[in-house]
Amino acid sequence: MSSLAAATGGTAKTPTAGRWGIVIAALLLQFSIGAVYAWSVFSSALKKPDAMGLTNPEASLPFTVTIGMIFIGSYIGGRIQDKKGPRPVALTGGVIYAIGCIIASFALSHDNTQLWLLVLGYGVISGFGLGFAYIVPIAMLQKWFPDKRGLITGLAVAGFGFGAVLTAPVAQWLIAMAPTEPNRAFLPLGIGYLVLAVIGASFFRNPPAGYTVPGWVPSANGRAQDSYKQFTEKEALRTPQWYLLAAILTLNVTVGIALIAQANSSAIDIAGYSVAGAAALVGVLALFNGGGRIFWAWVSGKTGRMVAFSMMLGLQGICLLIIPHASNAALFFILAAVIYLCYGGGFGTMPATAGDFFGVKHAGAIYGLMIIGWSLGGIIGPPIIAALVGTDKNYTLGYTVIGVIALVAIIVPVITKMPKTEVAKEAHASQK
C-alpha cells in the first residue's frame, strides 16, 4: 500500500507509515493557494492603458486586500480545525479560494470601474479562502511530526511559496492571449486551483489518539511533554511572548512583501528586464520563497529561532538598501532572491517557534490568530512602497525606507525570550 493510500485510513504497519503521504497532499493544497505570490504579473498587465489602466496604488489594492483577509480566514479556520479536524476546513478553504479567482475573471472593463469586482473576488473571497485553508496543514503536520517540527513546518508552507513558480509564467502566457483583458486568465487558473486543492485536502486527517513516533523521546526542554505547557489560546494571549512573535512576523512580512508586490515592475524599471523576462523572474524567485521556508526552518533548529529571525531581517534590510541601484540584471536577481528567501523563511520558522513556546495541542487557534501579522504586513507593506515609488518610479526612496525598517526591526527578536516554566504553570492553574 502506498503512503498516500495509508494516509486515507488504510492499514499501516506502524502509526507513522502514512504521514509522508499526508505531507504530499498538504503540498498540493499549498501549491494551489500559494499562486497568490504571482500577483505582480497581473499588476503590471492591469496598469497598461489598453487594459484597465490602473495606477500603482490601485493595482496593488487586490493583493493588499487578499493578504489582509488571510488573518480572518486563518483564525476562523484554525478554531474550526481544532474542533472538527483538518479535512473539511481545508476542502472549504480551497473551494472558496478558487471561486474568488473565478469571480475575478469577470472584471473585464477597460477602465477602473470594475476594480471593485476584482477586489471582491481576488481580494475578499480568495483571501478569506486562502487563510481558511493555509493554517490547516501547518497545525496538522506538527501533530504528525513532533520529532521534526522545524523541518516539517518548513515543508508545510514550502508548497505555498512554490505556488508562483508555475503560476507566474502560465499567467503571463494566458495574459498574452488577451492582453487587453488580463483578468480572463483567472478563469482557467481558478479551475486548476480547485482541482489541486480538492485532491490534496481529501487526504487530510489528524493522527489517532495516543499517537507517538517510535523511538522518539522529547527533549528535556521540550514544551510538549508536560500538560501544563500546552497553552490554550487564552493562556498564550496572556503572555508577552505571543505579541512579540506576532510583531516579528508582521515586520518580516512588511519588508519582504514590499518587494514581492513590486517585483515585476522593479525588474523592468531598475534592471531592464523584458516583460516576459520579468514574469519568468517572478516565477524563479518563488523557488526562493518556497525554499526559504525549508532552509530557515532548518537553520533555526541549529542557531535558535530568534537568531534566525534576526538574520532574516538583517539580510533583507541590506538587500533592500542596495536593490534600487542594481541596474545589472544578475545583481538584481541575487538581491531579490535573498529577500524572497528570508521572507519565506519567516513562514517556515514561525509555526515551529509558536509550537516551541506554546505547544502544539491548540496550534490551529494560537498560530491562526498569530497570522494577523501576515495580514498586517500585507496591509502595511504594499501601500507604503506603492506610495513611495509613486508615478515617478522613485525606487530609491521606497526601498531605502523599507530597508531601514528591516534593520531597526532586528531589536524585536533580540529581546524575545521563551516563556518561563513558572509562567506556564500559573497560566494553566488560572484556568482550573
On whether residue 281 sits in a domain, the answer given is yes
Spell out the per-residue pLDDT of the chain, length 432, in tens: 344 444 444 434 456 668 899 999 998 998 888 888 888 889 889 988 888 989 888 988 998 899 889 889 988 988 888 788 899 999 999 999 999 999 999 998 877 789 999 999 999 999 999 999 988 888 888 888 888 877 787 787 788 878 877 788 899 899 999 999 999 999 999 999 999 999 999 999 988 887 888 877 665 444 444 444 688 888 999 999 999 999 999 999 999 999 998 998 999 999 999 988 998 898 889 889 888 988 998 899 889 999 999 999 999 999 999 999 999 999 999 999 999 999 999 988 998 899 889 987 777 778 878 988 988 998 899 889 989 998 889 999 999 999 999 999 999 999 999 887 544 444 444 444
Q: How far apart are CA 264 and CA 382, in angstroms?
A: 13
Q: How far apart are CA 274 and CA 189, in angstroms?
A: 24
On whether residue 359 sits in a domain, the answer given is yes
DSSP string, 124-193: IIHHHHHHHHHHHHHHHHHHH-GGGHHHHHHHHHHHHHHHHHHHHHHHHHHHHHSTT-GGGGHHHHHHHH
On whether residue 82 sits in a domain, the answer given is yes
On whether residue 339 sits in a domain, the answer given is yes
DSSP conformational letter for 121: I
On whether residue 346 sits in a domain, the answer given is yes
On whether residue 213 sits in a domain, the answer given is no
Q: How far apart are CA 336 and CA 339, in angstroms?
A: 5
On whether residue 215 sits in a domain, the answer given is no
Q: How far apart are CA 271 and CA 268, in angstroms?
A: 6
Here the CATH number for the domain that contains residue 296 is 1.20.1250.20
CA-CA-CA-CA dihedral for 146, 24, 260, 119, to nearest 10: -110
Place of cell 523563511: 345
Overall domain count for the chain: 1
Q: Residue type at 395?
A: Y
On whether residue 218 sits in a domain, the answer given is no
**Structure pTM?**
0.74
Residue span of the structural domain in which 280 resides: 3-207+223-430
